[in-house]
């Protein structure tokens, strides 16, 4: 019998299926919501770069290196 099997039988560490499913769903939501912020930030930065290039077309070669 393995070490972990002995611990499960000794201490009764059985994972409730409802808690296990809720943990997976919560982790998925956390990763999904955490990816929104960087997406908004990159979109804002790219939008500002395009707006700056539209205002000063002669600086087109300079702007993308800074973004």
> What's the pTM value of the predicted model, to 2 decimals?
0.52
- Supply the CATH number for residue 44's domain: 1.20.20.10
Our count of domains for the chain comes to 2
pLDDT digits (tens, 9 = 90+) for 13-42: 666 778 888 989 999 999 999 999 999 999
Do 23 and 49 belong together in one domain?
Answer: no
Asked if the model's pLDDT at residue 67 lies above 60, the reply is no
SS3 content of the chain, % helix, strand, coil (to 5): 80, 0, 20
Q: How far is CA 25 from the centre of its chain?
A: 14
Do 27 and 40 belong together in one domain?
Answer: no
Q: In terms of residue numbers, what domain contains 45?
A: 36-67
Do 22 and 5 belong together in one domain?
Answer: yes
d(CA 62, CA 55) in angstroms, rounded, equals 13
Do 30 and 3 belong together in one domain?
Answer: yes
């Amino acid at each position: 019998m393995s070490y972990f099997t002995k611990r499960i039988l000794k201490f009764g560490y059985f994972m409730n299926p409802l808690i296990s499913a809720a943990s997976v769903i919560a982790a998925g939501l956390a990763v999904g919501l955490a990816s929104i912020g960087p997406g908004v930030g990159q979109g804002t930065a790219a939008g500002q770069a395009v707006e700056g290039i539209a205002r000063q077309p002669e600086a087109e070669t300079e702007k993308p290196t800074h973004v």
